[in-house]
Chain A
Amino acid sequence: MSEQAWWSNQDFWRKCAIFVTAFMFVVLILLTFHSLAAISSGTDRVPAYSVINHRIDYRFDEARNMKVPVIGEEAPLFGKVLSEDEARELVDLGKLTVQAKNCMNCHTLLGNGAYYAPDLTKAWLDPGWGNEQARELLMTMFLKDPKTNARTYGTNRRMPDLDITDEEVRGIIAFLKWMSAVDTNGFPQGFEPLPQGGS
Chain B
Amino acid sequence: MPAEAAMDVGAAVAEDTAVALNTRSLTAGQRLALKYFTVAMVLFVAQMLFGLLAGIQFLYPEFLYGVLDFNVNRMVHINAMIVWMLYGFIGSVYWLVEDEAGVELVGAKLANINFWVLTSAVAVVVVVYLVVQVGPGKQSTIWLINEGREYIEAPRWADIGIVVCMGVFFYTIAGTFMKGRWSGISGTLVLDLIALAGLYLAGMFYTTNLSVDQYWWWWVVHLWVEATWEVLVGCIMAWGLMKTLGARREIVTTWLYIEVALMFGAGILGLGHHYFWIGTPEYWLGIGGFFSALEPIPLVAMVVHAVYDAGRHGFQSSNHPALAWLIAHAFGNFLGAGVWGFIHTLPQINLYTHGTQWTASHGHLAFFGAYATIVIALIYIALQRWRGDVWMSADLPDRGWKWKWSLILLNVGMMGMTIALLIAGYEQSFIERAIGGSTWAAFFEGQTQPWFVQGMQWRMIFGVVMTAGLVLLLWDLLTIGRGETRPAKEVHDPAGPSGAIESGALSRAPV
Residues of chain A touching chain B, judged by Cβ–Cβ distance below 8 Å, are 1, 8-10, 13-14, 16-17, 20-21, 24-25, 27-28, 31-32, 34-36, 38-41, 45-46, 49, 64, 88, 91-106, 108-119, 121-123, 126-128, 151-158, 160-165, 168, 171, 175, 179, 182-192
| 7 further contact pairs, Cβ within 8 A, besides A24-B264, A108-B355, A157-B447 | A28-B269, A39-B212, A121-B277, A155-B444, A160-B69, A163-B136, A179-B210
Residue of A103, A164, A191 near B438 (CB, 8 A) is A191
Known: A10-B184, A39-B215. A97 touches B137 (CB 8 A): yes
| Beta-carbon contact of A111 and B257 below 8 Å | no
| Beta-carbon contact of A185 and B285 below 8 Å | yes
Residue numbers in A under 8 Å from B258 (CB-CB)? 13, 16-17
Q: How far is the CA of A175 from the CA of B447 in the complex (A)?
A: 26
| Beta-carbon contact of B438 and A99 below 8 Å | no
Q: How far is the CA of A128 from the CA of B282 in the complex (A)?
A: 30
Known: A27-B269, A100-B145, A157-B61. A118 touches B443 (CB 8 A): yes
- CB of B163 within 8 A of chain A? no
Residue numbers in A under 8 Å from B210 (CB-CB)? 95, 109-110, 175, 179, 182
| Beta-carbon contact of A41 and B209 below 8 Å | yes
| Beta-carbon contact of A96 and B448 below 8 Å | no
Residue numbers in A under 8 Å from B62 (CB-CB)? 156
Known: A28-B271, A35-B280, A49-B208. A115 touches B355 (CB 8 A): yes
Residue interface mask B207-220, A partner, CB < 8 A = 1: 01111111101000
Within 8 A of A (CB), among B49-74: 54, 57-58, 60-62, 65-66, 69-72, 74
- CB of B359 within 8 A of chain A? yes
Residue numbers in B under 8 Å from A156 (CB-CB)? 60-62
- CB of B354 within 8 A of chain A? yes
Q: How far is the CA of A153 from the CA of B433 in the complex (A)?
A: 17
For residue A100, which residue of chain B has the nearest CB?
B141
| Beta-carbon contact of A17 and B278 below 8 Å | no
Residue numbers in B under 8 Å from A157 (CB-CB)? 61, 444, 447
Q: How far is the CA of A71 from the CA of B282 in the complex (A)?
A: 20
Quote the shortest CB–CB distance from B373 to chain A (angstroms): 24
Residue numbers in A under 8 Å from B360 (CB-CB)? 115
Q: How far is the CA of A115 from the CA of B257 in the complex (A)?
A: 38
Residue of A10, A38, A45, A153 near B257 (CB, 8 A) is A10
- CB of B109 within 8 A of chain A? no
Complex A-B, nearest 3 residue pairs according to Cβ-Cβ distance, in ascending order: A97-B137, A99-B148, A153-B444
| Beta-carbon contact of B69 and A190 below 8 Å | no
| Beta-carbon contact of B214 and A186 below 8 Å | no
Residue interface mask B143-170, A partner, CB < 8 A = 1: 0011111100100000000000000000
Give 14 CB contacts A-B under 8 Å: A21-B264, A24-B265, A27-B268, A28-B271, A31-B287, A45-B211, A45-B279, A96-B139, A100-B146, A110-B277, A111-B354, A115-B360, A119-B438, A188-B433
Q: How far is the CA of A160 from the CA of B71 in the complex (A)?
A: 10
Residue numbers in B under 8 Å from A184 (CB-CB)? 277-279
Residue numbers in B under 8 Å from A188 (CB-CB)? 433, 437-438
Q: How far is the CA of A163 from the CA of B357 in the complex (A)?
A: 29
Q: How far is the CA of A163 from the CA of B260 in the complex (A)?
A: 48
Quote the shortest CB–CB distance from A188 to chain B (angstroms): 3
| Beta-carbon contact of A119 and B260 below 8 Å | no
- CB of B351 within 8 A of chain A? yes
Within 8 A of A (CB), among B425-442: 428, 433-434, 436-441
Q: How far is the CA of A191 from the CA of B437 in the complex (A)?
A: 4
Q: Which of the four size classes fits the interface of chain B?
A: 35 or more
Residue of B148, B356, B357 near A104 (CB, 8 A) is B148
Known: A24-B265, A116-B58. A45 touches B281 (CB 8 A): yes
Q: How far is the CA of A168 from the CA of B136 in the complex (A)?
A: 8
Residues of chain B touching chain A, judged by Cβ–Cβ distance below 8 Å, are 54, 57-58, 60-62, 65-66, 69-72, 74-75, 133-139, 141-142, 145-150, 153, 184, 188, 206, 208-215, 217, 250, 253-254, 257-258, 260-261, 264-265, 268-269, 271, 274-285, 287, 351-352, 354-357, 359-360, 428, 433-434, 436-441, 443-445, 447-448, 504-505
Quote the shortest CB–CB distance from A89 to chain B (angstroms): 9
Q: How far is the CA of A175 from the CA of B213 in the complex (A)?
A: 14
| Beta-carbon contact of A14 and B65 below 8 Å | no
Residue of A17, A114, A185 near B74 (CB, 8 A) is A114
Quote the shortest CB–CB distance from B505 to chain A (angstroms): 7
Residue numbers in B under 8 Å from A27 (CB-CB)? 268-269
| Beta-carbon contact of B287 and A102 below 8 Å | no
Residue of A28, A104, A116, A119 near B57 (CB, 8 A) is A116
For residue A19, which residue of chain B has the nearest CB?
B261
Task: Indicate the member of B148, B354, B436 with the most A CB atoms within 10 Å.
Answer: B148
Known: A39-B280, A182-B279. A168 touches B137 (CB 8 A): yes
For residue B146, which residue of chain A has the nearest CB?
A102
| Beta-carbon contact of B71 and A17 below 8 Å | no
| Beta-carbon contact of A8 and B441 below 8 Å | no
Residue numbers in A under 8 Å from B54 (CB-CB)? 116
| Beta-carbon contact of B355 and A111 below 8 Å | yes
Residue of A102, A111, A182, A191 near B71 (CB, 8 A) is A102
Residue of B209, B284, B433 near A190 (CB, 8 A) is B433
Q: How far is the CA of A40 from the CA of B276 in the complex (A)?
A: 16
| Beta-carbon contact of B440 and A36 below 8 Å | no
Q: How far is the CA of A28 from the CA of B283 in the complex (A)?
A: 13
Quote the shortest CB–CB distance from B335 to chain A (angstroms): 21
Q: How far is the CA of A97 from the CA of B206 in the complex (A)?
A: 12
Residue numbers in A under 8 Å from B282 (CB-CB)? 64, 185
| Beta-carbon contact of B278 and A186 below 8 Å | no
| Beta-carbon contact of B209 and A39 below 8 Å | yes
Known: A155-B444, A182-B211. A161 touches B279 (CB 8 A): no
Residue numbers in B under 8 Å from A187 (CB-CB)? 276-277, 351, 354
Residue numbers in B under 8 Å from A32 (CB-CB)? 215
Residue numbers in A under 8 Å from B352 (CB-CB)? 189
Residue numbers in B under 8 Å from A45 (CB-CB)? 211, 279-281
Q: How far is the CA of A64 from the CA of B285 in the complex (A)?
A: 13
| Beta-carbon contact of B65 and A158 below 8 Å | yes
